[in-house]
């Protein structure tokens, strides 16, 4: 198994931001489906850059869920958000990965 390391931690163990100034443009798509007493939100993000783009998709889902909460809180304060999880990722160093549900 290849050695894995945290990309946002420097050699001294301190948190650091990753330089993304050279990132290419990214395609994003969001779908919201009303289910039972909630919603299923999925986001797709694609890029041609050599970087993990899953954080953009997960951020899109998070912001969408918070927006739905903001829109519905007048009628229901006890809304829960979650779980938030990556369903599939392809490309990059880790190759293709699919969550088995």
Q: Tell me the DSSP string of 13-75.
A: S-B-PPP-TTPPPEEEEEEEEEETTEEEEEEEEEESSSS--HHHHHHHHHHHHHHHHHHHTTT
Catalytic residue among 10, 19, 36, 70: 70
> Is 29 known to be catalytic?
no
Give me 5's structure tokens.
């390391």
Angstrom distance (rounded) from CA 32 to CA 86: 16
User: Catalytic residue numbers?
Assistant: 70
């Amino acid at each position: 198994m290849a050695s894995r390391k945290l990309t946002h931690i420097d050699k001294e163990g301190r948190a650091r931001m990753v330089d993304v100034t050279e990132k290419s443009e990214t395609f994003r798509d969001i779908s919201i489906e009303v289910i039972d007493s909630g919603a299923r939100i999925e986001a797709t993000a694609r890029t041609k850059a050599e970087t993990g783009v899953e954080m953009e998709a997960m951020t899109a889902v998070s912001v969408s869920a918070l927006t739905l909460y903001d829109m519905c809180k007048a009628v229901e304060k006890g809304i829960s958000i979650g779980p938030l999880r990556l369903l599939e990722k392809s490309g990059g160093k880790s190759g293709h990965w699919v969550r088995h549900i």
